[in-house]
Every structure is written in structure tokens, then in C-alpha cells.
Amino acid sequence: MDPQSFSCRNAGPEDFTLEERDVPRPKPGELLVKTLWLSVDPYTRARLSPAKNYAAGLKIGDLMQGGGVGEVIASQSPLFKPGDVIQADDFGWHPGAHHPT
């Protein structure tokens, strides 16, 4: 195995990009969810490392992944209505998203 070294530093605002996009209405079977809480788990660090490890790595520009809790804003599912609070393992780090029911 070839030895490798990586520099480590604390992340700062310059390491993230804030993008504003139009949010389309949810399709049948989807929810539009406003993010309330995001999970920052230890495996997140492994996903940022270029070294091969147990978690799939992220590339520059990829959406950070993680679990979260959110409020249903719009629903195209009979199972959920606006105002319901949900938990999902695939929120990603953004203020809102579509989620399948």
C-alpha cells in the first residue's frame, strides 16, 4: 500500500456554497419538506476524506447527506398533510427537499 498524507483543517464558510433555486411542486407520492433539524454524524468525516473507507466519498459539489427532521409544506400523498413532522435518513444539508412517501 502506498503511504499517503492529507492535510486537515477546520472547515469554514469558504468550504460551502449557498445556492438558491426554485422549488417545484411535489409530484404524486412526494412531499415537499422544510428542514428543521439535521444530523451531523461521525461518518460524515469519513465521506469528506479522499482515502478509501467504509463510507462512500463525496466529490466537490456533492450535497452533504444525513438524517433529519422536517415539516411537510406540501403533500401529494394521502398519508401526510401540511404541518406534519417527519423523520428521514436522506435529508441532505439543504433547507427543504422533495421526499418520496
| Tens-digit pLDDT string for the chain (101 aa) | 556 666 677 878 887 777 788 888 899 999 999 999 988 888 777 777 777 777 778 887 888 888 899 999 999 999 999 999 999 888 878 777 777 77
pTM of the model: 0.69
Asked if residue 13 belongs to a domain, the reply is no
Structure letter (DSSP) for residue 44: H
Buried/exposed code over 65-93 (b: 16+ C-beta within 10 A; e: otherwise): bbebebbbebbebeebeeeeebebeebee
Asked if residue 37 belongs to a domain, the reply is yes
* CATH number, domain with residue 68: 3.90.180.10
Q: Which domain holds residue 74?
A: 27-100
Asked if residue 22 belongs to a domain, the reply is no
Angstrom CA distances, 61 to 17, 32, 49, 73, stand at 8, 23, 14, 26
Asked if residue 85 belongs to a domain, the reply is yes
Asked if residue 2 belongs to a domain, the reply is no
Asked if residue 82 belongs to a domain, the reply is yes
Q: What is the pLDDT at residue 42?
A: 81
User: Exposure of 94 by Cβ count < 10 A (0-12 exposed, 13-18 middle, 19+ buried)?
Assistant: middle
Domain count of the fold of the chain: 1
Asked if residue 34 belongs to a domain, the reply is yes
Q: What is the pLDDT at residue 40?
A: 83
C-alpha R_g of the chain: 17
Q: What is the pLDDT at residue 2?
A: 57
Q: What is the pLDDT at residue 25?
A: 87
Asked if residue 44 belongs to a domain, the reply is yes
